[in-house]
Amino acid sequence: MYKKTIIILLFSFLGTIVNAQKSIKGTVYEITENKTKEIIPLASVYWQGTTTGVAADIDGNFEIVEPSTYPANLVVSFIGYQSDTIRLNSYKKTINIKLKNAVGLEEFQITERRSGTTINTIDPLRIETLGTKELAKAACCNISESFETNASVDVNFTDAASGTKKIQMLGLDGIYTQIQYENLPLIRGLSAAYGLTFIPGTQAESIQIKKGAGSVVNGFESITGQINLELQKPDEAEKLYLNIYGNAMARGEVNLQAAQKLNPKWSTMTMFHASNQTISHDNNNDNFEDHPLRTQYNLFNRWKYVGKKHMFQAGFRAVLDDLEAGQIKANTNESLYRIGVKTKQFEAFTKNGFLFPKKPYKSIGILNSFKLHDHQSFYGSKLYNAKQYSGYLNVIYQTVINTTDNTIKFGGSWAYDNYDKNLNNNYKFGRIESVPGAFVEYAYNAQKKTALVLGLRGDYHNQHGAFITPRAHYKYNFTDKSAFRLSVGRGFRTANPIIENSSSALVSARNIILKDIDLKPEIAWNYGTSITHLFEIAQKEMSISFDYYFTDFTNQVVVDIENPREIAFYNLDGKSYSHSLQTEYSIEITKALELKAAYKWYNIKTTYNGILKDKPLAPKNRVLVNIGYITNFDKWKFDLTGHWFDVSRIPSTLSNSAENVIPNQSESFYTLNGQITRTFKKFEIYGGAENILNYRQDNPIISANNPNGSDFDASLIWGPVMGRNIYFGLRYKIK
């Protein structure tokens, strides 16, 4: 009897152990548009409210231990898909999980069919994503021209001679926005002037726009926001993509992209771009080319490896760009005024991710890049030649604290820049910047309703000493379709004033004045709030968003063009700030017809030699209206975008000769762009027009008939400098 009791107890104990070690097996997959089953590898699978989790293998299979109690929620997530939560009331030996594309609970799509623009309602940071559908509406031709249908980013010409465009956010120049690609630096230093023209729009998979203070993980330079480009992925892109573009200005472009999966773990992709414009136009008869003559070659290649515990990417990017502009015919007894800019850029990068399959909430990321930028240019008699050698390293460790509601990231970074610059071959200046730093960022997310992110980083600049960068973000969801956000943060950057203001400094007769030999770093605080809400009235889906941001500089490198004879750079002595308010509304009138309208108000002021003035050439009010229509099966796509720009202040030109004095206020004006696309099975053709109304700023170049004189200035640009432009193109894809 005693032995029998012992045996029964022993088997009961063993049974308890076996039950405690039960596991649940499953597969993660999606159903594609072609109704086929597609495996999703490396998805995260974990029990909600615990640290127990695993990662699916390369075939989408996983095995996770049974929860300690029932009912239990199993959370499955993967980047680019909606997270799914499966509630288990009892033990199941196997389970299959189907994930959907990432438009739903975590992100709602404002313009679902027309523009592919989404706003995330879960993340504490306000992230607006422009997808491939939105980018396709800006058929030409590089990233600087990809924001024409977006209200958050403004696009303006830099001057009337070089034809280059620049972007602005919150009313301030793009130099105050941290611009990256896949979280690697993109626009820094010498690339500030022309860098956005070196990334073809077709190479972008999406563009993420973050207004206000960004994450400390990505660095300290963000003041007005962050723009991050996600490029086409070798394991996700079409096997072959071809885009051919041409316009009435005789500009031609070819984009060829090829991706290949070598095996389940390795893939590679090559993207090639070539553009050429060799025929000049002078439609306003000022003897200056309306647009630059330009040839560019761009090559990008990367390799990608995806394993169970390690993800790796490596690649390079190379650019050759040759720009020429200026006078067409020389005046009597005067030299021909020409502009020439030759750029060579080469970059190599690697990205390493280390995964922990049994702890999917934990990861280590290592990002690094090396870049060489060679800039050789002349603007009439002014010469500006420079080289920049840059290195970047960022190491990020992520884990949770007790539960997945509390995550923490910390790590270290190092940014290195070596500048060699000279102006007119007699004023040589350069510097070496080395900035090591460390950061920590804590995130709290309570059931996707309340979220808080607190970040702090400390860095040491070899010339300016130690500094800290605190940032905080708060988000509250009134419903799963509405989000209220608050943010505050500090930004720090060093200026390269001549190249960042090359239009005013070089494309004019202005004398360059450095009033302060020691230009201090630019430092500013940004405070922001936003509300986003999706709703439905009379079965019409609508969305409305409102945001307000205040940028307050504690120091700024002031760019003073108030005197038409000079451009002066000096440290801020007084106030400098920017108020930015934007409201946006969209409605799905029918399943095929959608409307988006946005209004922006700016109040931007800076102290110039003791006097607080409005920022020049910046209209206080702007309006955008976009209408999109798509027929059944997406065969025909129609898109029309209109802009209205209010008047802006123009710096005084009273000291010019009488015939070269212009008003101190611009005109208000409208622009209109449109595009039509016809889609076939494997290709599509498109055509459109920019500046349909043919509005142009009158006489944009002051003293165009005497470019070697003291009144010459091509930088006071507040409106379009080119007239109507008709374009056409073809896109061909093999999936």
Question: What is the spatial distance between Cα 628 and Cα 478, in angstroms, rounded to a whole number?
Answer: 30
Number of domain units in the chain? 3
The 8-class DSSP code of residue 556 comes to -
Whether the link from the prior residue into 141 is cis, omega within 30° of 0, is yes
- Could you tell me if 384 and 397 lie in one domain? yes
The H or E element spanning position 191 is none
Question: 228, 250, 267: which is the final residue of a domain?
Answer: 228
Q: Give a yes or no: residue 105 inside a domain.
A: no
Whether residue 479 contacts residue 534, with contact meaning beta carbons closer than 8 Å, is answered with: no
Structure confidence at residue 447 (pLDDT): 65
∠ CA 426-428-433 to the nearest 5 degrees?
A: 175
Q: Which amino acid is at 471?
A: R
- Could you tell me if 464 and 609 lie in one domain? yes
Question: What is the spatial distance between Cα 259 and Cα 232, in angstroms, rounded to a whole number?
Answer: 9
- Could you tell me if 209 and 258 lie in one domain? no
- Please state whether 248 falls in left (phi above 0), alpha (psi between -120 and 50) or beta: alpha
Question: What is the spatial distance between Cα 574 and Cα 571, in angstroms, rounded to a whole number?
Answer: 10
Can you give the pTM of this predicted structure?
A: 0.84
Whether residue 640 contacts residue 655, with contact meaning beta carbons closer than 8 Å, is answered with: no
- Could you tell me if 542 and 646 lie in one domain? yes
The 8-class DSSP code of residue 106 comes to S
Q: Give a yes or no: residue 549 inside a domain.
A: yes
> pLDDT under 50 in the chain at which residues?
1-20, 102-115
Task: Concatenate the DSSP letters of all residues of 234-262 into one string.
Answer: TTTS-SEEEEEEEETTSEEEEEEEEEEE-
Q: Give a yes or no: residue 106 inside a domain.
A: no
Whether residue 439 contacts residue 457, with contact meaning beta carbons closer than 8 Å, is answered with: yes
Whether the link from the prior residue into 264 is cis, omega within 30° of 0, is no
Question: 202, 228, 254: which is the final residue of a domain?
Answer: 228
Task: Concatenate the DSSP letters of all residues of 460-498 into one string.
Answer: EETTTEEEEEEEEEEEE-SSTTEEEEEEEEEEEE---HH
- Could you tell me if 10 and 156 lie in one domain? no
- Could you tell me if 44 and 141 lie in one domain? no
What range does the domain containing 22 cover?
2-98
Q: For residue 90, how many other CB atoms are within 10 A of its CB?
A: 7
Structure confidence at residue 305 (pLDDT): 95
- Could you tell me if 193 and 283 lie in one domain? no
Q: What is the CATH number of the domain that holds 38?
A: 2.60.40.4130
Whether residue 530 contacts residue 151, with contact meaning beta carbons closer than 8 Å, is answered with: no
Question: What is the spatial distance between Cα 626 and Cα 595, in angstroms, rounded to a whole number?
Answer: 6
Q: What is the CATH number of the domain that holds 180?
A: 2.170.130.10
CA-wise closest residue to 169 among 509, 513, 524: 524
Whether residue 180 contacts residue 196, with contact meaning beta carbons closer than 8 Å, is answered with: no
Whether residue 686 contacts residue 729, with contact meaning beta carbons closer than 8 Å, is answered with: yes
Whether residue 271 contacts residue 299, with contact meaning beta carbons closer than 8 Å, is answered with: yes
Map residue 334 onto helix, strand or coil. coil
Q: For residue 2, how many other CB atoms are within 10 A of its CB?
A: 6
Structure confidence at residue 141 (pLDDT): 73
Sign of CA dihedral 234, 240, 245, 251: positive
Structure confidence at residue 402 (pLDDT): 86
What is the chain's alpha carbon radius of gyration, rounded to the nearest angstrom?
28
Q: Give a yes or no: residue 375 inside a domain.
A: yes
Measured in degrees and rounded to the nearest 5, phi and psi for residue 170 equal: 60, 30
Q: Give a yes or no: residue 194 inside a domain.
A: yes
- Could you tell me if 450 and 325 lie in one domain? yes
Structure confidence at residue 21 (pLDDT): 52
Q: How far is CA 316 from CA 299, 303, 350, 596, in A?
A: 8, 10, 9, 38
Question: What is the spatial distance between Cα 524 and Cα 381, in angstroms, rounded to a whole number?
Answer: 36
List of residues 6+ apart from 230 with CB closer than 8 A = 181, 182, 204, 205, 206, 207, 208
Q: Give a yes or no: residue 400 inside a domain.
A: yes
- Could you tell me if 125 and 72 lie in one domain? no
∠ CA 661-664-670 to the nearest 5 degrees?
A: 110
Structure confidence at residue 448 (pLDDT): 67
Question: What is the spatial distance between Cα 180 and Cα 183, in angstroms, rounded to a whole number?
Answer: 5
Q: Give a yes or no: residue 521 inside a domain.
A: yes
- Please state whether 449 falls in left (phi above 0), alpha (psi between -120 and 50) or beta: alpha
Question: What is the spatial distance between Cα 642 and Cα 658, in angstroms, rounded to a whole number?
Answer: 36
- Could you tell me if 628 and 723 lie in one domain? yes
List of residues 6+ apart from 370 with CB closer than 8 A = 347, 348, 349, 390, 391, 392
- Could you tell me if 478 and 521 lie in one domain? yes
Question: 228, 243, 278: which is the final residue of a domain?
Answer: 228
Q: What is the CATH number of the domain that holds 254?
A: 2.40.170.20
Q: Give a yes or no: residue 104 inside a domain.
A: no
Q: How far is CA 108 from CA 104, 105, 120, in A?
A: 5, 7, 7
- Could you tell me if 538 and 573 lie in one domain? yes
Whether residue 451 contacts residue 475, with contact meaning beta carbons closer than 8 Å, is answered with: yes
First to last CA, the chain: 73
The 8-class DSSP code of residue 134 comes to H
Question: Residue 646 burial by CB count (10 A; 0-12/13-18/19+): exposed, middle or buried?
Answer: middle
Whose tokens are 């390493």? That residue is 352
CA 570 to chain centre: 29
Strand duo 94-98 + 23-31: pairing: parallel
∠ CA 304-306-308 to the nearest 5 degrees?
A: 165
